Amino acid sequence: MPRKIHYQTDIKLDISTDFAKDAPKIIKDTLEKVWPETYFADLDVDDYIDIVTDIWVRYYINSDITKEVINKIKNANPPKDLKIYLEFNLFDDDDNLIIDYSEVRTTPLFRAFLPTRDLWDTYVYDSITRKFESLEIIEPSYIDEIKLSMSEAEKSKLDDLLIQAYSFHNRLLGITAKKILLYTAQSPKVIDDWNKTGYIPKGMYFTDKMSRAEYYWVEGDIIVDYRLPENKMSMTSEFGGAKEYVTIEDIMIK
């Protein structure tokens, strides 16, 4: 039976460092820790770990596809306060040690961590399409939860960083300026203010389904629809057949 040890063999490397130099030690330390639990426990540990480490550094850590991923991340201009790691796993889902680089997907996941807060987006890079795919989204409800213990200044700082992170997310995924139909439930005064100023401010939430907008409706609200440029929005949730978005910058509506 598989030992399910792969959960503890993620190799996370900070792209802001020269991780090619750090990787051999990290890989060796990780393998030494889990070696007694692997199918290879009866082999000579030192010799075999050296071989595996060499394969990983040569064909994964220093591969052209890994370098391509890093360049595309940097070209998307991530916020300076965003910590970005490439994440590799030494074992596959069946707990087999990955050593045949020709038969295994070599593209890494990477996580973008906000400092001191457990918030992230996770992406995978498709080496065929040469594009990133978003695997996880920061849920607004979770953000609201961690804000409960924050001061107003801390909340404002986090909001600014999140907006920057959302913009980075759109650039990384190559979101275009095409307009999409979205709905929102707001008070008449809010809608009147938008129409008078001629723009929708950043940080406002929308959905692509009327039924979801109705869910957020409270007495006195009205539901309105706009066609807004997708690259000025960031999707924050996809649940029950509806998508939710937040504006990541002021959007002109006149």
Q: Are 142 and 114 a contacting pair, CB within 8 Å?
A: no
Given a cut of 70, the residues of the chain with pLDDT beneath it are 1-8, 36-43, 93, 100-108, 115-118, 140
Tokens 């006149």 belong to which residue? Answer: 254
Q: Note the pLDDT tens digit of each residue in 59-115.
A: 888 888 888 999 999 999 998 888 898 888 777 767 777 776 555 555 667 878 776
Strand order in the sheet with 222-229: 222-229, 179-186, 205-207, 242-247, 233-239
Residue 168 and residue 4: Cα distance in Å, rounded?
34
**Looking at residue 37, what DSSP letter applies?**
G
Report yes or no: 17 and 26 within 8 Å, Cβ to Cβ. Answer: no
CB 84 within 8 A of CB 78: yes
pLDDT value at residue 4? 55
The pLDDT value given to residue 201:
94
For residue 23, the model assigns a pLDDT of 86
Q: What pTM value is reported for the model?
A: 0.79
pLDDT of residue 230: 96
Report how far residue 62's alpha carbon sits from residue 23's, in angstroms, rounded to the nearest whole number: 10
For residue 70, the cross-strand partners are none
Number of H helices, E strands in the chain: 7, 12
Which pLDDT score is estimated for 1?
Answer: 41
SS3 for 38? coil
Whole-number pLDDT of residue 40: 63
- Residue 91 DSSP class: B
Predicted pLDDT of residue 2: 47
Please name the residues in contact with 110: beta carbons below 8 A apart, sequence gap of 6 or more. 15, 69, 73, 84, 85, 86, 87, 122, 123, 125
Rounded to whole angstroms, the Cα distance separating 69 from 127 reads 9
107: Cβ–Cβ under 8 A, 6 or more apart, which residues? 65, 69, 124, 125, 126, 127
Collapse the DSSP code of 47 into the 3-class scheme (helix H, G, I; strand E, B; otherwise coil) and give the result: helix
